[in-house]
Amino acid sequence: MATYYIVENYQQAGPFTLEQLAARGITPETSVWTEGMANWTPASQVSELQYLFAQSPAAPSPSSSSSSYQSSSSYQSQSAGSSRSDEYVPMPKDYKVHAIVLIALSVFCCGVCGGIINLVLGVLALLETNKVESLYRMGNYLQAQECSNKAGKYFKIGMIFFVVGIVLEIIFLIVYYGAVIMGAMSNNW
């Protein structure tokens, strides 16, 4: 049986079983995570937790229009009179240093094409990672996570290009100097 971590009072809590989550009275907006999940996700989007929210709450009255609701691109806190506590969602990973390292490594990459590809991937990673903090601060947690994921993807692809380029460069040097040595040896015979 899966156990879940939740964000409660700006801190990670858990792990909790499904029964413990039900007893805690989590809301559809509660951020949850369990092993196998890539990111923190609202409980309402986790199929195993759907039964906790099967009973729909009463429709809000016109006088309670001061509450804000979750939009598809961001989580927003409910009004101060709400019964649930505000939730803290940790900022996604910042790949700024990784992107700068990738740009620096582009100088050492095999050939002009490999260096240019790494430079472009490093710049793309840097552009995406620069969006993460501002989106996070605006409350657009899902978009911030998407930008972080893109930056990570660009970094990983760039590192693959770098490693392949270095391996090809080493192979080229071995073949080149092997041919030079063999040529020199054949001239001495």
Q: pLDDT tens digits, the chain, 189 residues: what are they? A: 678 888 877 677 888 888 888 888 788 888 888 888 878 888 888 878 877 776 544 444 444 333 333 333 333 333 333 333 445 678 888 888 888 888 887 776 656 666 788 888 888 988 998 888 888 877 778 888 889 999 999 999 988 888 887 788 889 889 999 998 888 888 776
Helix/strand/coil percent split, the chain, to 5: 55, 10, 35
The burial of 44, by beta-carbon neighbours within 10 Å (0-12 exposed, 13-18 middle, 19 or more buried), is given as: middle
> For position 133, what pLDDT does the model report?
83
> For position 109, what pLDDT does the model report?
62
> For position 150, what pLDDT does the model report?
92
> For position 110, what pLDDT does the model report?
56
